[in-house]
Amino acid sequence: MGYRIAVVGATGNVGREMLSILDERGFPVDEIVALASRKSQGTEVSFGEQTLKTKDLEQFDFTGWDIALFAVGSEATKVHAPRAAKAGCIVIDNSSLYRYDADVPLIVPEVNPDAIHGYAKKNIIANPNCSTAQMVVALKPLHDRARIKRVVVSTYQSVSGSGKEAIDELWDQTKSIYNPVDNYQAKVYPKQIAFNVIPHIDSFMDSGDTREEWKMVVETKKIVDPKIKVTATCVRVPVFVGHSESINIETEDFLDEDEARDILREAPGVMVVDKREDGGYITPIESVGEFATYVSRIRQDVTIENGLNFWCVSDNLRKGAALNAVQIAELLGREVLKKG
């Protein structure tokens, strides 16, 4: 027996990745349906060798379906996720809507798999923010060994995190710079993204932080440990796919860089590429299409007693979104539904 799976937002970047990853990982699917807004109804998407025609989300009845992977914005999720959950279909939501709800588990399977059983309160599970997901995969094994007190992170986030329109904007802007006849005006970002970096992701808050930075703080506490102090600076960079992070941690116990490297090599979901030579590290372009969270540049921070620096890279459409959602579905299958 397999599962009846609905992919909501199947025509978007993340929805398409969800379909691809379900197939790649051999998820036990009995039946699958691609759902989208009415304007996208009939659009064809791929699931392995199959071609699926999208159906209208608003008219869809979730009764009898096992799991719905949601990859739509918070407004649509607010309407349709409770409807699916009420019909008995477990929702795995990629939006930010339920992440900070005490009755909804926020899960990264390599980090806090035991939280899966909390789904039953609302029949909804939240997927974390893309920048948080990859970071906590690297933090958790180090925290288990030496107790992390404080994290300082600067992100270098690709434009695909803003959706297809942002990918088009980077492409069109880059072309227009080489062809001055094209006078391309920015539509997605407040400043030029081509050949530039923008220290602004999501809206500004009264504290001076952006909401993206706030998300990393709150989500790390909920997923790993509420006692960890986190400060973040989130930056959009002219890269199509793949988020990178410069991470500094301070631990309660001393952790040697060599032991940290060994711990991360054994950690689930982590791939260490750390040679102290030209090219002996991972860049975002090498992470595209991969499942792993990559860690490089592991070294002691000698300015504090117990400090480490490292570089963390992952495909934001995969571990930062679609892959993590599918891994949650796999965990749900193993621990709760037990069909496949």
Annotation-wise, does 99 bind a ligand? yes
Other CB atoms within a 10 A radius of the CB of residue 39 amount to 9
Nearest to 108 by CA among 78, 82, 129: 129
Q: Which residues are catalytic?
A: 130, 243
Cα gap 135→321, rounded to integer Å = 13
Annotation-wise, does 39 bind a ligand? yes
Any residues with CB less than 8 A from the CB of 129 and at least 6 apart, and which? Answer: 96, 99, 212, 215, 216, 219, 320
Q: Is 75 helix (H, G, I), strand (E, B) or coil?
A: helix
Annotation-wise, does 11 bind a ligand? yes
Cα gap 291→27, rounded to integer Å = 15
Annotation-wise, does 160 bind a ligand? yes
The answer to whether 236 and 162 have CB atoms below 8 angstroms apart is: yes
Cα gap 121→98, rounded to integer Å = 12
Annotation-wise, does 154 bind a ligand? no
* Tokens linked to 308: 């480490």
Nearest to 264 by CA among 306, 228, 298: 298
* Tokens linked to 283: 């860049």
Annotation-wise, does 318 bind a ligand? no
Transcribe 11-56 into DSSP letters: TSHHHHHHHHHHHHTT--EEEEEEEE-GGGTT-EEEETTEEEE-EE
Annotation-wise, does 236 bind a ligand? yes
Enumerate the known binding-site residues for phosphate.
99
Enumerate the known binding-site residues.
11-14, 39-40, 99, 157, 160-161, 180, 236, 316
Enumerate the known binding-site residues for NADP(+).
11-14, 39-40, 160-161, 180, 316
Enumerate the known binding-site residues for substrate.
157, 236
